[in-house]
C-alpha cells in the first residue's frame, strides 16, 4: 500500500460514522502497540473481561464436564 493509498483511505474514513471511526482508531492503536512491544499488553476492556471471568470462577460459576462436552458436540463434525 502506498502513501497515496493511505491518504485516500483516510479521506474515506472521515465519511464513516463516528462509531466506525472509533473502532478503526482502536484497531490501529492495538497494531501500533504490538509493533512497539515485544509482548502483548491487554486493553482496559480486556482486563475487565478477564477480571469478570476470574470472579465468576472464584464464585464457583463453572461449567460441568457434561456441559462442556455438549457444547463441543454442537461444533464437531
* Domain range list for the chain: 22-75
Taking residues 61-77, report their average pLDDT.
91
In this structure, the number of other CB atoms found within 10 A of the CB of residue 77 comes to: 2
Q: 23-33: per-residue pLDDT in tens?
A: 999 999 988 88
Range with lowest mean pLDDT among 15-24, 34-43, 66-75: 34-43
Which pLDDT value is given to residue 58?
94
Q: How far is CA 58 from CA 36, 42, 44, 46, 53, in A?
A: 35, 21, 21, 18, 9
Amino acid at each position: 500500500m502506498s502513501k497515496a493509498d493511505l491518504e485516500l483511505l483516510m479521506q474515506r474514513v472521515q465519511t464513516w460514522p463516528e462509531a466506525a471511526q472509533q473502532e478503526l482508531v482502536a484497531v490501529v492503536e492495538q497494531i501500533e502497540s504490538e509493533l512497539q512491544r515485544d509482548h502483548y499488553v491487554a486493553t482496559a476492556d480486556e482486563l475487565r473481561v478477564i477480571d469478570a471471568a476470574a470472579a465468576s470462577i472464584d464464585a464457583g460459576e463453572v461449567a460441568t464436564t457434561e456441559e462442556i462436552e455438549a457444547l463441543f458436540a454442537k461444533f464437531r463434525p
